[in-house]
Structure 1
Amino acid sequence: MRIQRPTDMFDRTWEWAQLTRFVSDDEPGASLGVVSGRRRQGKTFLLEAMCEATGGFYYSATEAVPRQEALRQLGDAVGRHTGAPGRVHFAHWEEALDALLSLGTDRPVPVVIDEFPYLVHGAPELPSLIQRALSPRRRERIESRARILLCGSSISFMGNLLMGSAPLRGRASLELIVPTFDYRAAREFWGLDDLRLAALVYLIVGGTPAYKSEFLRGAAPARLEDFDDWVTEHVLSPASPLFREVRALLAEDPTLTNTGLYHTVLAAVAEGNCTRGSIASRIERKATDISHHLTVLADAGLLTVEPDAFRQNRSAYRITEPLVRFYHSVMRPVYAQLEQVRPGRTERLWEAAQPRFRSAVAGPVFEYMCRTWAHTMAADETLGGMAMRVLSGVVHDSAARTGHEVDLVSMDADGNVLAIGEAKWGDTIGLAHLERMEKVATLLRAQGRAPNVITLFSGTGFMPALREAARKSGGRIQLVDLERLYHGD
C-alpha cells in the first residue's frame, strides 16, 4: 500500500518509507514499533502525518498525571477516534491495551502512543503488560492488525525498552531513530544560498528542524551581513525561545536528575576538555565521581564518545548538539548580563565573545562537518577507498617527545588508514599546514599505517601555492572548501 507523503514535509523520505512499510504490512497479527530521537526533530510531525494519511489513532501522553487520569485521557482519545456514543472508560491498563488492539480488527492501522515514558513513569509495569498483550498465541493479538508505535524523546529510556532483559526485547519489528538534519539538509531547510552563511547558522543551531519552524517561525538571516543581527535578536535575546532552550533540554529529560552538575560537565567539554580525566580535573572532581554523569549524558544523546584513531583505551567526549556547545561557550559565561536587556549591550557581548565562538564553537563543529563529509559524502576515489570510520586522533612523535593532533582520520573496514586531514574554519590554509600533515604521514608510514591521501578543509580558502601543489599531486592532496563540502564529493 502506498501512503502519500505530506507535501509540507521536508526531507525525512527514508523515515517515511520505513513507517509506511511497517504500517501497511498486511500480515495478520498486531506488531510493535519504537520511534525515538532527541527532542525537536519532528517525530510527532511524522507520526501525526502518518495517522492523518491512514486514519490511524494518535495519542500523546501528559507528563506527571496519575494512573487513573492517564487511563481517562486515553479513553477519551479512543472515544473520539471511534465515534463512540458514550464515554469510553478503562478500569486498568490491560483493558486499555486490548481496546487499542481492537482498533486494527478490520485493517492494518497505526496506533501511536507518543511520549510513552510519561505513561511508564506512572505505570512502571506497562512494558510488561504490552509484552503480555502481544503474546504470539494470544487471540486478541492474532485477530488484530494494529501497528502499535511507541514514541519518546528520552533516547536512553526508549533504547532500553528493547535491550538486555527488558520485557519488550525481541517484540519490536521496527526501531526507528529520527536524527537531526546533516549540514547539507539543514542548508536546504533554512533556504540559505550563501554557503558561508549556511555554515554559520549550522554552527549555532545545527540541524534541529523545530528551531526554524517552531521556535523562530522561519526567521533566518537573508544575507551574510545580517548574521550578527540575527544572532543577537533570535539567539541571544531573552525574548527568544532559543535563549533558554539548552536549559529546557536538560530539564525535560527524566534521566538527568541533577541538571546543575550535568551543565558543569557539558561546560567543561565545551571548553575543550575531552577526556574523562581532564573533565574531572576541570570541575575539581575525581574521574570516578563523574563516570555516571558522562554515561547518562551520552545515553541522552548530548555527548558522544569517540575512540582515538591511533591510541587504544583513549576516547574523546564531544558535544553532539551545536546549540548546547554555543550555550556553554558563548551564552552561559555572560548569561546574567544577557538577561539585563539594555541598548547595545547584547551586541557588545556578542562582539566580545568572538574569540570564544571561533575556538570553542566554530572550530569543533566545522571539524565535525568535515568528518561527516568524509564519512558519508566523499567518493571512494577521493579518499583512496571506502571510509567505514572517520575519527580524530593523536599521533605520537617519540623523537620530538610530542603528539600531533589529527582532525580527521578515514579508515576502511580493516582499520587501515585511508586519509588524514586538517580542518580550519577561519584560516586560509597554505603550505605550512600541508607540511605538518606530511610530517604526520611520515610518522604513520614508519608505523606501517601510511595514508593514501591528505585532505585539507577550510571555511575561508587556500593559498595559491597550496592549490598548485594539490594540482600536481595526482589526487594525493585533496582540498575541500565550502563549495565542495556542500555540493561535491
Structure 2
Amino acid sequence: MKYLKCIDREQELATLNERFERSGAEFIVVYGKRRIGKSTLLQKFMEDSDGIYFFCRIESQKEMLERFSSQIAEEMELEYLKNAPFTTWDSLLDFFVGNKTGNFAMIFDEFPYAISANPSLPSIFQDYWDRKLKKTNLKIIICGSSIAMMESLLGYKSPLYGRRTAQINVGQMDFKNSCKFLEKHSFEEKITAYSICGGTPAYLIEFSDAPIHRCIEDKIFKKDAFMYNEVPFLLREELKEPRIYFSILNAISTGRTTLSEIVNHTGYEKGTITKYLSVLSDLKLVKRRISITESAKSRKGVYVIDDNFIVFWFRYVFSNIEIIEMNLSSELTKSVMAENNEMCSRVFEKICTEFLLMNRPFEFTAVGSWWHKGDEIDIIALNNITKEILFCECKYTKTKTDTDLYLNLVEKTKNVRWGGANRKETYCLISKSGFTRRMKQLAERDNILLFDQKNLEEAFIPSKAC
C-alpha cells in the first residue's frame, strides 16, 4: 500500500525497521506533537513491513472493534469477521497471537482515543504482554499526539511501565529537510516560511505552493483556516488550564523571557509560573536556555518558545484576533510582510547554527548563545578538549555587513570567560546580504570566516545551488 510522501525521518525509520527485523516481540511507543508527521512515518514503515495499521478514532469501543474487524477481514481476506466482529480487546489480541508466528507489526495510531473508549486498555495490554505477547514475534506499536498522555504511558505509575522495548519522540524537522516541502519558493522565501511554520510538516505543506503573503492571509488569517485555531486547539488538548499557559506563552512571545519578567507580566505567583513552565518544558513547547559558559544550574536562564509557529501565532494572531474576526486580514498581512526581516532574524540564528554544524571548522562539544551584562553573541561553538572556540554573529538585513560587526564582536569576546589565555579562537560572520569590500579585505587579513546567502543555499539545497 502506498501512502503520503515521507520526507526525512531516516533515523526513526531505521529504528522501526531494525526493531521489526529482530526475532521476538517488541513494544514500541511513538509520540510527538500534532501535525508532526507521526502517521506518515508509520505508514511509510508499513510499505515494506508485514503488518496492519489501525487508526483509532473518537468512538465507542464497540464501534472501534467492529471497524478494526472489518479492516482485518478485507486486508487478510477473512470475510467471517464482517459478520462476527471482535467484541473485546482480548479477543482481538488473541486472534493475532494465534494466527501470526512470523514478524508482524500491529500499529495503533492515536492510541489515546482507544484509551478514552476503554480506560482499562493499558492494563489489558500489560496482561497480554506479560502472559502471551512477549513470547511471540508480534511488534506492537502504539502512537499518539497527546504528549502528556503518551509520556504518562511511559511513567512508573502506568501499567505499561517497563514493558516498552523502544520509544520514538518524533520532533520537528530541521531547516534543511523543511526546505524539501518548499521547492517552488526561492531560498529567501524558504527562510520566511520556516520562520512562520517551523519544522512541522503539515504547516509547511500549507505553504508549499502559493506566494508567502497569500499563504499567511489564506492559511492563517482566516477564521475557517485550521492554522488560525491550531494553537488554542493544541493547548486545550494537552492542558487542563489553558488560560494560564496562554498568559505565559504570550509573555514569552513578546520578549518577557526571564522568570521575573513572566511573573510581572502575567500577575501570577512565582510558584505558579514555575510549575506551569515545567509542564510547558515537558511538552517541548518551551525551552530554558542558559549562556553557553554558564553551568546547567545557573539562575541566569531565559525561557524561549521552542516552536516557530507558536511564536508567530502569539505575535500576530493572538494580538489581532478582533481584526481577523472582522475579515480585515489583508492589512494585517501587509504589516507582517513589512516586518519580514525582523521576523526572520529571530530564526536566522537557528538556521546559522544548523549550517555551522554541517560545516564545522573544528569538532564541537557544545554550541549555544552567550550573554553577559547586556552583551550578546549569537553563536559560540567550543571544544572542551582542544580548547578551541568559535565566535559567530548572524545578520539578516538588506544591507551588506561592514567591519563594525566584527570589531564589536572582538570586543565582546574579551568578556567570555572560558578556555584560558591559550584558547584557540575562530571568528565567523554570516550575513544574508553579503559583505562590504572593506570587510572582505579584513577577513582575508585576519582569517575570518565569512558566509553569505549563497553559501547557505549551496549547503541546504545542493541541487539548487546558485
The TM-score by the shorter chain falls in which range?
0.7 to 0.9
TM alignment of 1:295-444, pairs within 5 A: 295-312=278-295, 313=298, 314-341=300-327, 345-353=328-336, 358-359=341-342, 361-374=343-356, 376-379=357-360, 382=361, 385-395=362-372, 402-412=373-383, 418-426=389-397, 428-444=400-416
List gaps (5 residues or longer) in structure 2: 461-466
List gaps (5 residues or longer) in structure 1: 222-226, 396-401
Match of 1:399 in 2: none
Contact kept, 8 Å, 1:311 with 1:394, in 2: the verdict is: no
SS across alignment from 2:227 = helix
Instruction: Say whether residues 1:252 and 2:248 are aligned partners.
Output: no
Residue 388 of structure 1: how far off its partner (Å)? 3.0
Equivalent residue in structure 2 for 1:16, among 13, 16, 19: 13
Q: How many residues align?
A: 452
SS across alignment from 2:228 = helix
Distance 1:388 1:39, change over 3 A: farther
2-side partners of 1:337 and 1:358: how far apart?
23
Contact kept, 8 Å, 2:198 with 2:308, in 1: the verdict is: yes
* One-letter amino acid of the counterpart of residue 387, structure 1: F
1-side partners of 2:182 and 2:104: how far apart?
34
* One-letter amino acid of the counterpart of residue 458, structure 2: H
2-side partners of 1:177 and 1:37: how far apart?
5
2-side partners of 1:149 and 1:140: how far apart?
12
SS across alignment from 2:229 = helix
TM alignment of 1:22-421, pairs within 5 A: 22-25=19-22, 27=23, 29-63=24-58, 65-67=59-61, 69-82=63-76, 83-85=78-80, 86-91=83-88, 93-102=89-98, 105-135=100-130, 138-142=131-135, 144-164=136-156, 166-192=158-184, 194-213=186-205, 215=206, 218-221=208-211, 227-253=212-238, 256-312=239-295, 313=298, 314-341=300-327, 345-353=328-336, 358-359=341-342, 361-374=343-356, 376-379=357-360, 382=361, 385-395=362-372, 402-412=373-383, 418-421=389-392
Distance 1:293 1:445, change over 3 A: closer
Distance 1:75 1:290, change over 3 A: farther
Residue 139 of structure 1: how far off its partner (Å)? 4.6
2-side partners of 1:415 and 1:304: how far apart?
29
Deviates more, 1:443-452 or 1:182-191: 443-452
2-side partners of 1:483 and 1:290: how far apart?
43
* One-letter amino acid of the counterpart of residue 272, structure 1: G
Residue 483 of structure 1: how far off its partner (Å)? 2.6
2-side partners of 1:417 and 1:286: how far apart?
43
For normalisation by structure 2, the TM-score amounts to: 0.87
Distance 1:467 1:155, change over 3 A: farther
Equivalent residue in structure 2 for 1:471, among 444, 448, 453: 444
Residue 7 of structure 1: how far off its partner (Å)? 8.8
Residue 47 of structure 1: how far off its partner (Å)? 1.6
2-side partners of 1:415 and 1:337: how far apart?
55
1-side partners of 2:145 and 2:43: how far apart?
15
SS across alignment from 1:461 = coil
* One-letter amino acid of the counterpart of residue 237, structure 2: E
For normalisation by structure 1, the TM-score amounts to: 0.83
SS across alignment from 2:8 = coil
* One-letter amino acid of the counterpart of residue 93, structure 2: L
